[in-house]
Amino acid sequence: MHVAADMAKVSSNPRLSERVSQLLSNMHLHEKIGQLCQVSGCEGHVSEHLAQQVRDGWVGSVINEVDGPTVNYLQHIAKQESRLGIPLLIGRDVIHGFKTIFPIPLGQAASWNAELVEQAARIAALEANSVGVNWTFAPMIDISRDPRWGRIAESLGEDPYLCSILGAAMVDGFQGTDMSESGQIAACAKHFAGYGATESGRDYGTTNIPENELRNIYLPPFKMASDSGAATFMSSFSDLNGVPASGNRWLMKKILREEWGFKGFVVSDWESIYQLEIHGLTENSRDSAQKAFNAGLDMEMVSTTYREHLEELLETKQVDIAQVDHSVGLILSVKEQLGLFDKDCQSPDTADAFYQQESLDVAKQIATQSCVLLKNHNQTLPINAQETQHIALIGPLADDGFEQLGTWIFDGEPQHSVTIRSALESACPSSVNITYDRAMATTRSYTTDLYSQALASANQADVIVMCVGEEAILSGEAHCRADIDLPGSQMELIEKMAELGKPIVLVVLAGRPLTLEPIIEKVDSVLYAWHPGTMAGPAIADLLLGEAVPSGKLPVTFPRKVGQIPLYYNQKNSGKPATNDQYIHMNDIPPRSPQTSLGMAAIHLDTHFSPLFEFGFGLSYSQFTYSQLMLSQHHISRSETLEVAVTVHNTGDWDADEVVQLYIRDLVASATRPVKELKQFSRVHVKRGEHKKVIFSLNINDLSFYNDEMQWTAETGHFHLWVGGSSATTLQQGFELING
Ligand code: GLC
Check pocket membership of 195 for ligand 1, CB cut-off 6 A.
no
Residue 597: the pLDDT is 65
Q: How many CB atoms lie within 10 A of CB 183?
A: 14
Write the burial class of residue 728 (CB in 10 Å: 0-12 exposed, 13-18 middle, 19+ buried): middle
In sequence order, what are the beta bridge partners of 47?
none
Mean pLDDT by 10 residues, the chain (740 residues): 43 79 98 98 91 98 97 98 98 98 99 98 98 98 98 98 98 98 98 98 97 98 98 98 98 98 98 98 98 98 98 98 98 98 91 96 99 98 97 98 97 98 98 98 96 98 98 98 98 98 98 98 98 98 98 99 98 95 88 80 94 98 98 97 98 98 98 98 98 98 97 97 98 96
Name the residue of 151, 238, 269 to mutate for ligand 1: max ligand atoms within 8 A of Cβ.
269
- With b for 16 or more beta-carbon neighbours within 10 A and e for fewer, the 126-152 pattern comes to bbbbbbbbbbbbbbbbbbbbbbbbbbb
In sequence order, what are the beta bridge partners of 678?
663
Q: How many CB atoms lie within 10 A of CB 498?
A: 16
Check pocket membership of 137 for ligand 1, CB cut-off 6 A.
yes
Return the amino acid letter for 288: S
Check pocket membership of 719 for ligand 1, CB cut-off 6 A.
no
Residue of minimum CA distance from atom 12 in ligand 1:
93
Q: CA 524, CA 521: separation in Å to the nearest integer?
A: 7
Is the Cβ–Cβ distance between 474 and 490 less than 8 Å? Answer: no
Q: CA 483, CA 536: separation in Å to the nearest integer?
A: 26
Residue 14: the pLDDT is 65
Please indicate, yes or no, whether the overall pTM of this predicted structure exceeds 0.75. Answer: yes
683 Cα: distance to centroid of ligand 1 (angstroms): 32
User: How many Cα atoms within 13 Å fall on the side-chain side of residue 720?
Assistant: 14
User: Which pairs with CB-CB distance under 8 Å and at least 24 residues apart come from 286-289?
Assistant: 286/312, 286/313, 288/247, 289/313, 289/319
Q: CA 682, CA 664: separation in Å to the nearest integer?
A: 15
Residue 350: the pLDDT is 83
Q: CA 419, CA 548: separation in Å to the nearest integer?
A: 17
Residue 594: the pLDDT is 85
Is the Cβ–Cβ distance between 91 and 62 less than 8 Å? Answer: yes
Residue 5: the pLDDT is 41
Q: What does the DSSP 8-state code read for residue 263? A: -
Write the CA distances from 345 to 46, 89, 94, 97, 354, integer angstroms.
17, 10, 19, 22, 19
Write the CA distances from 359 to 250, 366, 374, 484, 541, integer angstroms.
41, 11, 28, 33, 19
Residue 12: the pLDDT is 55
Q: CA 50, CA 482: separation in Å to the nearest integer?
A: 42
What residue spans of 98-193 are helical by DSSP H? 105-109, 114-129, 160-175
Residue of minimum CA distance from atom 8 in ligand 1:
269
Q: CA 279, CA 276: separation in Å to the nearest integer?
A: 5
Is residue 81 helix, strand or coil? Answer: helix
558 Cα: distance to centroid of ligand 1 (angstroms): 27
Residue 13: the pLDDT is 60
Atom of ligand 1 nearest to the CA of 138: 10
Check pocket membership of 233 for ligand 1, CB cut-off 6 A.
no
What residues have CB less than 8 Å from 500, skipping those under 6 apart?
455, 458, 459, 464
Residue 248: the pLDDT is 98
Is residue 411 helix, strand or coil? Answer: coil
465 Cα: distance to centroid of ligand 1 (angstroms): 36
Q: CA 35, CA 267: separation in Å to the nearest integer?
A: 11
92 Cα: distance to centroid of ligand 1 (angstroms): 9
Is residue 386 helix, strand or coil? Answer: coil
Atom of ligand 1 nearest to the CA of 137: 10
Residue 3: the pLDDT is 38
Is the Cβ–Cβ distance between 480 and 515 less than 8 Å? Answer: no
What residues have CB less than 8 Å from 408, skipping those under 6 apart?
93, 95, 96, 104, 153, 154, 476, 477
Q: Which helix (H) or strand (E) holds 666?
A: strand 656-666
- With b for 16 or more beta-carbon neighbours within 10 A and e for fewer, the 474-485 pattern comes to bbbbebbbeebb
Q: CA 332, CA 663: separation in Å to the nearest integer?
A: 43
User: How many Cα atoms within 13 Å fall on the side-chain side of residue 427?
Assistant: 23
User: How many Cα atoms within 13 Å fall on the side-chain side of residue 299?
Assistant: 33
Sign of the Cα torsion 424, 426, 430, 434 reads: positive
Q: Which of 269, 400, 411, 702 is catalytic?
A: 269
- With b for 16 or more beta-carbon neighbours within 10 A and e for fewer, the 2-19 pattern comes to beebeeeeeebebebeee
| Residues counted in the chain | 740
Atom of ligand 1 nearest to the CA of 270: 11
Check pocket membership of 93 for ligand 1, CB cut-off 6 A.
yes
Is 269 marked active-site? yes
Closest CA to 576 of 604, 605, 603: 603
